[in-house]
Amino acid sequence: MNAMHEELENFERNHVLDLVESPPNYRPIGTKWVFKNEQGEDGMVVRNKARLKEGIDYEETFAPVVRLEAIRILLAFVASKGFKLQQMDVKSAFLNGFIEEEVYVRQPPSLESARFPDRVYKLRKAFYGLKQAPRAWYARLKSFLLKSGFVMGSVDKTLFLLSRGGDTTIVRIYVDDIIIGGSSHALVSSFAEQMSREFEMSLMGELQFFLGLQIKQGLEGTFVHQAKYTRDILKKFNMDGEAVDQKEFRGMIGSLLYLTATRPDIQFVVCLCAHYQLLLGHLTVKRYLKFTPELGLWYSSGSSLSLRGFSDANHAGCRIDRKSTSDKCQLLETSLQASVALSTTKAEYVAAASCCSQLLWMKATLSDFGLRFDRIPLLVDSTSAISVAKNPVLHSRTKHIDVRFYFLRDHYEKGDIDLIHVVSANQLADMFTKSLEYKVEGVDNALIKGEIESQWTGLIALLV
């Protein structure tokens, strides 16, 4: 009840609603209460939330959202510069957005006005559940940031940067989650106060928990992991080896796919499970995660940011349908940015083209941070794939490659990338083309843990 009354007080304080007679030509929209317990990174409830939402289509909302790769790029950049990221909490963010449409809603259930129970609310501002609410909030926040002198990213529309007197302030938004940081603590604090005056928000301190990612910022660098999310998955989808229904299994796969944001070591087996819906593969990755919940990504401070890519393919590696697995990863200095894709065409060349596409996106994104790159190294362990990219003549070996992949050759000729051969032993992307080999049955769990960690450590050592 306290949370419900607090929500209505937010409406009144932000001048969101006016209680009026129901107009004859408008049908008021129904409302309902949605309750949620907000948890911290330790799983403890930190806040009880009650949201009064529109009763129809309240899940069909849109707002620009940031890619996870962009979050990792930001973490790598600020770690290299020695910046500290702070997090701001916006109270009832959607109630700050203005709407142009005429919208009426019914009074909240169980809290109707005693004097005017038959009246309805006319909306002045956006309302939780209204389809345009997230977009209206983004438009209001974007307008404020641009008026404050910030410049919006040319590629990423959720990134805003302010340069003043040689200092840089960075703002990253994800709907109502806001991250700020910069080279000057005074400027960051001043901007936080300015934001607090414009909107009802507060500075929560150093960034520690964002979109399920646990972030530890230190003097030597930043460590990102999903230990809590991993344990929640294992607890939610407790499997004892018996058959599970398809709906639950698909939910497990979806959760595991998000976990790959900081756990590239499980990308291959998770993608394999998603492709074939194999229960055995999930049991294997579950056991692996049980022993390694706190593995993550490390972003070193003080590193010189250089960009390079690796691409690899396991040609016709699947024993069932003879399909190929082509994979890529990108390094911003020693900071891993990885992704996986399955292909049935000329695997090595397609993998290189896919890696080139990701490198060009990263190049454009990093240009917003003032970083410029020419002839980005793209390391491939197939001399034939490199020859196809450098050779302008089409022949029988390339007739099955789709035309859309030939932009790799164009960007090589333009000098955007440089194709370099690397021996397979030093091919970092190789870890994403096949699973780590070990036996599960009849082997002690401690031995399994040791073998997994030794193989993964050997592969990740290539980063250094």
| Model confidence pLDDT, tens digit, residues 395-445 | 545 555 655 566 788 888 888 889 888 887 787 777 776 655 544 444 444
224 band by pLDDT with thresholds 50, 70 and 90: very high
115-138 average pLDDT score: 78
pLDDT digits (tens, 9 = 90+) for 260-314: 888 888 877 777 777 655 444 455 677 778 888 888 888 888 777 888 888 887 7
Residue 228 or residue 125, greater confidence: 228
Q: What is the pLDDT of residue 225?
A: 92
Does pLDDT of 128 surpass 90?
no
For residue 174, give Cα distances in angstroms to 43, 91, 151, 350, 358: 22, 14, 17, 32, 22
Q: What is the pLDDT of residue 393?
A: 55
According to DSSP, the residues that pair with 136 across neighbouring strands are none
Does pLDDT of 151 surpass 80?
yes
Does pLDDT of 446 surpass 70?
no
147 band by pLDDT with thresholds 50, 70 and 90: very high
Q: DSSP 3-state assignment of 280? A: helix
Q: In 225-319, where does DSSP find H-type helix?
A: 227-236, 246-259, 267-276, 279-291
Q: What is the pLDDT of residue 57?
A: 38
Does pLDDT of 464 surpass 70?
no
34-53 average pLDDT score: 73
Q: DSSP 3-state assignment of 303? A: coil
Q: What is the pTM for the complete model shown?
A: 0.69
DSSP per position, 168-214: EEEEEEETTEEEEEES-HHHHHHHHHHHHHHSSEEEEEE--EETTEE
152-165 average pLDDT score: 90
434-456 as b/e, with b when 16 or more CB fall inside 10 Å?
Answer: ebbebeeeeeeeeebbeebeeeb
Does pLDDT of 366 surpass 70?
yes
Q: What is the pLDDT of residue 398?
A: 57
Which long-range CB contacts under 8 A does 17-21 form with residues at least 24 apart? 17/105, 17/121, 17/122, 17/123, 17/124, 18/121, 18/122, 18/124, 19/107, 19/113, 19/116, 19/119, 19/120, 19/121, 20/104, 20/119, 20/120, 20/121, 20/122, 21/119, 21/120
138-144 average pLDDT score: 89
Under a CB-based contact definition with an 8 Å cutoff, are residues 34 and 50 in contact?
A: yes
According to DSSP, the residues that pair with 169 across neighbouring strands are 162, 182
According to DSSP, the residues that pair with 377 across neighbouring strands are 418
Q: What is the pLDDT of residue 345?
A: 43
Compute the mean pLDDT over every residue in the chain, rounded to the nearest whole number. Answer: 76
Q: Which of 5-19, 146-160, 162-176 has the lowest mean pLDDT?
A: 5-19
The number of C-alpha atoms within 13 Å of 233 and in the hemisphere containing its C-beta is: 27
243-272 average pLDDT score: 77
Q: Give percent of the chain with pLDDT exceeding 90.
A: 10
Q: Distance (Å, rounded) from C-alpha 203 to C-alpha 180?
A: 10
Does pLDDT of 90 surpass 60?
yes
175-181 average pLDDT score: 87
Q: What is the pLDDT of residue 146?
A: 94
Domains of the chain, each with CATH number or no CATH: 2-206 (no CATH), 223-296+434-463 (no CATH), 304-432 (3.30.420.10)
Under a CB-based contact definition with an 8 Å cutoff, are residues 330 and 429 in contact?
A: no
Q: What is the pLDDT of residue 216?
A: 93
246-273 average pLDDT score: 79
Q: What is the pLDDT of residue 458?
A: 45
342 band by pLDDT with thresholds 50, 70 and 90: very low
pLDDT digits (tens, 9 = 90+) for 57-67: 333 446 677 88
For residue 66 the two structure tokens come to 């940031």
Q: Which of 77-86, 178-187, 311-320, 424-433 has the lowest mean pLDDT?
A: 311-320
337 band by pLDDT with thresholds 50, 70 and 90: low
164-173 average pLDDT score: 90
Which residues lie closer than 8 Å to 338 by C-beta, 6 or more apart? 260, 264, 267, 327, 328, 329, 330, 429, 432
Q: What is the pLDDT of residue 455?
A: 45
Does pLDDT of 217 surpass 90?
yes
86 band by pLDDT with thresholds 50, 70 and 90: very high
